[in-house]
Amino acid sequence: MKLESLKQITAALNAAGARFLVVGGLAVVAHGYGRSTMDMDLVVDLSPKNLSSVFSALAALGYRPVPPVDPMDLADPSARKRWVEEKGMRVLPLQSEIHWETPVDIFVVESFSFDREYEHALLERLPGGEPIRFVRVETLIAMKEGAGRRQDLADIEELKHSLKELARKEEGGREKNGS
């Protein structure tokens, strides 16, 4: 994954007014566990208007779905259900010849309330100032528990450790303030 590609993807999505949350390895890093990742995993608002914004922004950067599907079918719950049941598809992978080192995966399965998570997301800024939203750590842990791969299990342990550290720091701050 290239930082410059990450910045361009985020800038394009933000400029298009797209509603998206970063999950997966990048979110793990944002929550304090330094590890490498090869792709950018996204959960997006699955409304037709938002999907149009997402795919227009990504297409401008050369991104196309790897399987020959219409990405706008993500707006159709029955199409998503077919993809999951018939093809075992959990994400829609996108590749770009321009940004070939930074594939993008868009989750097909809705594992949480997008609106709620978007409202409570961890908002950070990339180098250069571009805002980017990451799913909350508690939700990230739940997603990884559902996936159950070896890397996910390792991530869960680190994320839980980060949560404990954060709670300890918050408790210490309250004690100093006399609360």
What residue ranges do the domains of the chain occupy?
A: 3-136
pLDDT digits (tens, 9 = 90+) for 33-78: 777 788 999 999 999 999 999 999 999 999 999 988 899 999 999 9
pLDDT digits (tens, 9 = 90+) for 9-22: 999 999 999 999 99
- Judge contact between 45 and 33, C-beta under 8 A: no
Q: What is the pTM of this model?
A: 0.85
pLDDT digits (tens, 9 = 90+) for 110-160: 889 999 999 999 999 998 889 999 999 889 888 887 766 777 777 777 787
At residue 175 the predicted structure's pLDDT band, cuts being 50, 70 and 90, is: low
At residue 178 the predicted structure's pLDDT band, cuts being 50, 70 and 90, is: low
pLDDT at 1: 83
Candidates 3.40.50.620, 3.20.20.70, 3.30.460.40, 3.30.930.10; correct CATH number of 3-136?
Answer: 3.30.460.40
At residue 174 the predicted structure's pLDDT band, cuts being 50, 70 and 90, is: low
pLDDT at 14: 98
pLDDT at 11: 97
- 137 membership: H or E segment, kind and range: helix 137-147
At residue 95 the predicted structure's pLDDT band, cuts being 50, 70 and 90, is: very high
Instruction: Annotate 29-97 with DSSP letters as a single string.
Output: HHTT-----SSEEEEE--SHHHHHHHHHHHHHTTEEESSS--GGGGG-HHHHHHHHHHH--SEEEEEES
